[in-house]
Chain A
């Protein structure tokens, strides 16, 4: 199930350039749609405030912890809204029917009061929510279709180019043959005997070669050694799955989570601190954030061309979030768990054999090694892949080069002092500490 995204370099280059071309034209169109203002407020400022204070609980179009805010300025009196936003609980206590209705509709969750907002601030926000400026989202959506067709197109052109090349090659061969026969005829016509010349040259080279035993011996040894070299090289990569990037049941992007949103690795892989397993996070952990993040809105600058080429549009990601909801049994509209779960069968990327013992907490908590040291730039990986070869040689190299982190660890005090004196070094490597012994990892 290995996924090898770019088998063919040419198709990649062609595809990317095609998509690139189309994107440029699309984004040009999109930019014209911006900068439309309504009402007294300034939607640009409003957007800033909205993202800063409101977006945690409100979306424009969807129910979240609080109601969707698109068009809210037209739905209620402006004064009522001022009161509500600055102190909703006072409004509810005063017995305002609208306020109580909303309060009950949203599970009696009290809205955070914003007494510091001026009327202008609120107007700005409402200006934004009533007529949010178009985001580059439209452009991204539009790009999806051509990107897909662009991908297909590149495949066709690829074949065409190859076909043409083969045709040219065939033509060249035919031409060469023709020239050859023509020359031969000319030679025959002019009475030159080609066969004679050949015979005078003596033995063919391969026969001469075969007769020279020394050369044959050297050649054989050379070939055997070369063969052995390549055979060894080939065999050593058997079972080494560096670059293994399987397709997962849910397209989970480490790039978005760890890269764009800078979520700490160990927020999700918390057991790496205390256990031998880093652990695949349970789905309830995902829901800590995804209870409210129900759609992917992308980066401010919009999806990159590369993403689009792969089909990673906002809709695509939002679709993946829906897969999570289905797995964890979350009813988005009712905002509750249905209890019907479908555990996700992830494909394990890093597989150690049973006879090798590896403990994450030793490396993460005790040695303080960054996750990236072994797992590579995960925050840039759209699809998680195996970065390190995970071979024993790779482990050992690191153990030989890495100093033991002894600072502030009472466990190491005595043993480090004694051992470093014995070996006459300032700092001990993991290997000197005993990290190369067989049964430290094999038991």
Chain B
């Protein structure tokens, strides 16, 4: 039985009296187009200085001028290499394996370069750990081409030469030798064997050196708990593919929890195979990606989570722990989950994102107790190493004047520290302050020396993400500016002649390779040691006391909160905010709120009502929200816009890090508010008070845009039980019509003569709603591959966003199907108590805790495409290989196609986005243009564009096969989105190749087409979402 739940995209839709929702559903434009206003006013028309004759003159002149100008083509110069590098062939892409390790994102990636320019990031499929790039990593290539990057070193705000920086730093460091003042290094997490060795040698060379690692978003609690238990400062690793039951206490492991990168394993376990799939229960406050994907989600405030975890532990261990003020429903859920966990034992795993050492210690204990297969403490992860205590003592030392030199790299404490002002003041007490950075930041403003730092694509480096799993970073382009990486500078300051490359090779030859081949490792980008557990751990010089479980439990179960609790979180697109200047990430709509270009405080519907906070829609469909002032321990954050977030635990609010940066940013990128200011003691949960202030914030939200005209059956969803036991007709019934008084499948009736597609390739894209976590990597990959322009906040607000691929998010009611159906079938007439007009609104309020579905939607490449028939100039037509083709040079911009597209995937170029300083993002400057893919046209103003199913990639694959004189193997055909999807949610290929994965996926029972009853015969198909609702 397919679900008959009412799906809704915004809780405004549930308001039956909202005229906007209705008019959006019916009309393309909510407002009347103000033609009368303009033409009807005689006075205005008469008073204009341009009369008819003048107008005609202008028209005549410009036409003549344009045609004259067109006669003479421009002279195009072409400059070949003087000496061509052997491996570069103009027009052919080269791929290099490298690694991003910017302190927040760690991943092994492949970099596509054209004529020596990196233009795209791909997943490194050879990597067993960290081989999947998230949206930020995909976007990182554009960060290199940021026109605001530092182009050389600075001293007190003036550009200087590196040699003078070297001289000054060296003499200062030498003068500090043997004195009581110490040298401090404040750096990001490197997880790099070579950098660790280098810093150790630096310590030896200068003595009295203090190295403090600082993560902007701290995982100190988890690190400390792990260290206390296992003696190494690291993070336990989890393989969610092996877990049949996943219980998460506020761990957004599909997001950036403990460094992230867990989604591909998770997704593999979520695809029902042989009637089995994993079950996922989530207890959390903010609606996170993990919560959105969970089979059961229980909203709890942070304090309740702690109590719940203690209670849960008690249930597992059989001891009695008091449940405190937990709501009954939560208690019941915990009881049921605990029973399930005990049943599943080693097949279950428990994770926690509660920012508390006790909670983390309890979770480690639980997994040990269960003997969880998915839990790995023997080969832990090193991607977070920040140390709160060390940072605190460094700050104290700085204030006391005990620090002679402070060298910083990869950190921006003047922005990310809650007590940034204190830090900046303490800098005054340090004789030498230096920061390495790619951009001007709050920190570089406050220090004496600024070292212009390399982007990772210009650097050498290495990393050990997980014990025994190494990866290498190699430059894919020469430094664009006079920049230097921190490690090179350290080598210089230690008077070493060797380059950092030589240094890495030394490290690897001594400690990593063990006879392995360097060139092979560099080629692969990764190197794994078979017996990872035997590798010596990373030495830590701190000592942590063991955490006693009983006292931990006592403290957890005693947790209470006064007033509202604030949960600070990293947003999928922005992370810790390092790449806030990246226009792709700014324009990336948040998977859940679908808001771009902003952060905001998420409030539950109940709390919003109490505080009088509203979200409403203006007549053009734009979303507005109230402002509040947040106060944490005397620190105010003013004018924070509000989003009413379904699923937000009442009594809690959420706010994302990474926004509100101002220094060194283009004015367009200065969005949102700085949540770090409320990050007191680097703790993600805070007691907060909210106060409504006047005014409305205008969001750039793609939420209510492109309503599907009230047509249902977009998402098909069922439960594992029904999926396993019932016939496919019950849970994935295709539409039927009456033909000759018999019910036949709607797709068997056709007005069209079908084209024979059995010959040659026929491309299809499969999207599995079970495997899609909504991470958005595909959205950015599509941006990069297809030169999709960034249009800016005000244009997005006008629903002129250009994303070729969007990930729709639908909320649903959690109520049982039976209840919903009973209610719906009870409707009689339009009005009255059982009237269908108000009936849907009267369904129990789903905003309290909805279920969530993500659905990536791009051009469906319909075989019977509605857009093709209405184009007056035949600019869009169909190819034999299944692709709906768009010839930009033929398009005259009538937009009929977009109006006739049932999926609303066509995008219109309202402006010339390239070479236009009104759109100061990246396509208007030479540097930003370097990221453009030369195989795809940069579209101009006035044309329609849309997903091409990456025809440039399929054509290249075909050409390669032709040139080699062979057939195309399965898996060779890829689109940008399918190759970016490490979750296996998107599979692309040729369905005429019956052996191919996509052809087999098309035969699956779960397969359905979007809006199948319209008969468009799309070449993109979806797989019914199955939820594992089996309770113990």
CB of A344 closer than 8 Å to a CB of B:
yes
| Contact across chains for A271 and B82 when beta carbons are under 8 A apart | no
- Which listed residue, B90, B887, B889, touches A353 by the CB 8 Å rule? B889
A107 CB to closest chain B CB (Å) equals 20
| Contact across chains for A348 and B92 when beta carbons are under 8 A apart | no
CA gap between A276 and B936 in the complex, in Å: 13
| Contact across chains for A361 and B936 when beta carbons are under 8 A apart | no
| Contact across chains for A346 and B75 when beta carbons are under 8 A apart | no
CB of A158 closer than 8 Å to a CB of B:
no
A340-358, CB under 8 A of B: which get 1 and which 0? 0101111110010111110
CA gap between A411 and B89 in the complex, in Å: 24
B491 CB to closest chain A CB (Å) equals 27
CB of A191 closer than 8 Å to a CB of B:
no
| Contact across chains for A271 and B90 when beta carbons are under 8 A apart | yes
- Which listed residue, A279, A282, A419, touches B91 by the CB 8 Å rule? A279
Say yes or no: A409-B89 contact (C-beta < 8 A), given A343-B79, A347-B75, A422-B759.
Answer: no
- Which listed residue, B71, B758, B948, touches A439 by the CB 8 Å rule? B948
Closest to A360 in B: B91
B659 CB to closest chain A CB (Å) equals 36
Within B921-978, which residues are at the interface with A (CB < 8 Å)? 935-938, 948, 951-952, 955, 958-959, 961-968
| Contact across chains for B80 and A439 when beta carbons are under 8 A apart | no
CA gap between A418 and B758 in the complex, in Å: 9
CB of B729 closer than 8 Å to a CB of A:
no
| Contact across chains for B83 and A282 when beta carbons are under 8 A apart | yes
Closest to B70 in A: A238
| Contact across chains for B880 and A271 when beta carbons are under 8 A apart | no
A355 CB contacts on chain B under 8 angstroms: 887-889, 937
B961 CB contacts on chain A under 8 angstroms: 411
| Contact across chains for B80 and A415 when beta carbons are under 8 A apart | no
CB of B883 closer than 8 Å to a CB of A:
yes
B890 CB contacts on chain A under 8 angstroms: 438, 442
- Which listed residue, A348, A419, A438, touches B77 by the CB 8 Å rule? A348
| Contact across chains for A346 and B89 when beta carbons are under 8 A apart | no
A385 CB to closest chain B CB (Å) equals 14
Closest to A408 in B: B965
CA gap between A283 and B81 in the complex, in Å: 7
Closest to B879 in A: A437
- Which listed residue, A284, A346, A359, A438, touches B78 by the CB 8 Å rule? A346
B942 CB to closest chain A CB (Å) equals 13
| Contact across chains for B962 and A366 when beta carbons are under 8 A apart | yes
B816 CB to closest chain A CB (Å) equals 47
CB of A1 closer than 8 Å to a CB of B:
yes
CB of B204 closer than 8 Å to a CB of A:
no
| Contact across chains for B881 and A434 when beta carbons are under 8 A apart | yes
CB of A39 closer than 8 Å to a CB of B:
no
| Contact across chains for B76 and A347 when beta carbons are under 8 A apart | yes
| Contact across chains for B83 and A415 when beta carbons are under 8 A apart | no
| Contact across chains for B756 and A422 when beta carbons are under 8 A apart | yes
Say yes or no: A414-B948 contact (C-beta < 8 A), given A271-B89, A271-B90, A348-B76.
Answer: no
CB of A281 closer than 8 Å to a CB of B:
yes
Closest to A327 in B: B82
CA gap between A281 and B82 in the complex, in Å: 9
Closest to A412 in B: B962
| Contact across chains for B91 and A276 when beta carbons are under 8 A apart | yes
Within B75-123, which residues are at the interface with A (CB < 8 Å)? 75-84, 89-92
| Contact across chains for B760 and A346 when beta carbons are under 8 A apart | no
Instruction: Summarize A's interface: helix, strand, loop or mixed.
Output: loop
A440 CB to closest chain B CB (Å) equals 7
| Contact across chains for A346 and B77 when beta carbons are under 8 A apart | yes
- Which listed residue, A239, A353, A357, A409, touches B965 by the CB 8 Å rule? A409
Say yes or no: A280-B759 contact (C-beta < 8 A), given A366-B962, A438-B890, A439-B879.
Answer: no
CA gap between A341 and B84 in the complex, in Å: 13
CB of A275 closer than 8 Å to a CB of B:
yes
CB of A149 closer than 8 Å to a CB of B:
no
B80 CB contacts on chain A under 8 angstroms: 279-283, 343-344, 346
CA gap between A437 and B756 in the complex, in Å: 16
Closest to B92 in A: A275
CA gap between A29 and B693 in the complex, in Å: 104
B886-913, CB under 8 A of A: which get 1 and which 0? 1111100000000000000000000000
| Contact across chains for A411 and B760 when beta carbons are under 8 A apart | no
Say yes or no: A239-B881 contact (C-beta < 8 A), given A327-B82, A355-B888, A410-B967.
Answer: no
CB of A277 closer than 8 Å to a CB of B:
yes
Within B49-92, which residues are at the interface with A (CB < 8 Å)? 67, 70-71, 73, 75-84, 89-92
Most B-side CB within 10 Å, residue of A246, A275, A345, A437: A437
| Contact across chains for A246 and B75 when beta carbons are under 8 A apart | yes
Closest to B75 in A: A1
B83 CB contacts on chain A under 8 angstroms: 282-284
A284 CB contacts on chain B under 8 angstroms: 81-84
B875 CB to closest chain A CB (Å) equals 8
CA gap between A422 and B951 in the complex, in Å: 25
| Contact across chains for A347 and B77 when beta carbons are under 8 A apart | yes
CA gap between A365 and B83 in the complex, in Å: 25
CB of B877 closer than 8 Å to a CB of A:
yes
CB of A241 closer than 8 Å to a CB of B:
yes
CA gap between A31 and B890 in the complex, in Å: 65
B759 CB contacts on chain A under 8 angstroms: 415, 418-419, 422
| Contact across chains for A438 and B959 when beta carbons are under 8 A apart | no
| Contact across chains for A411 and B82 when beta carbons are under 8 A apart | no
Say yes or no: A438-B880 contact (C-beta < 8 A), given A239-B73, A280-B78.
Answer: no
CA gap between A434 and B879 in the complex, in Å: 8
| Contact across chains for A345 and B885 when beta carbons are under 8 A apart | no
B919 CB to closest chain A CB (Å) equals 19
- Which listed residue, A246, A281, A359, touches B959 by the CB 8 Å rule? A359
B879 CB contacts on chain A under 8 angstroms: 434, 437-440
CB of A362 closer than 8 Å to a CB of B:
yes
| Contact across chains for B760 and A434 when beta carbons are under 8 A apart | yes
| Contact across chains for A410 and B966 when beta carbons are under 8 A apart | yes
B137 CB to closest chain A CB (Å) equals 26
B728-767, CB under 8 A of A: which get 1 and which 0? 0000000000000000000000000000101110000000
| Contact across chains for A277 and B91 when beta carbons are under 8 A apart | yes
CB of A285 closer than 8 Å to a CB of B:
yes
| Contact across chains for B887 and A442 when beta carbons are under 8 A apart | yes
CA gap between A270 and B525 in the complex, in Å: 30
Within B412-428, which residues are at the interface with A (CB < 8 Å)? none
Contacts A281-B80, A438-B887 known; 14 new A-B pairs at CB < 8 A: A271-B90, A271-B92, A275-B90, A283-B83, A328-B82, A343-B80, A345-B77, A348-B76, A366-B959, A411-B968, A412-B962, A413-B967, A415-B760, A434-B880
**Which 7 pairs between the two chains have the least Cβ-Cβ distance?**
A439-B885, A275-B91, A282-B84, A277-B91, A282-B81, A438-B887, A276-B91
Q: List 16 A-B contacts (CB under 8 A).
A: A239-B73, A246-B75, A276-B91, A284-B82, A329-B82, A346-B79, A351-B76, A361-B959, A410-B966, A411-B964, A411-B965, A411-B968, A418-B759, A434-B880, A437-B877, A437-B885
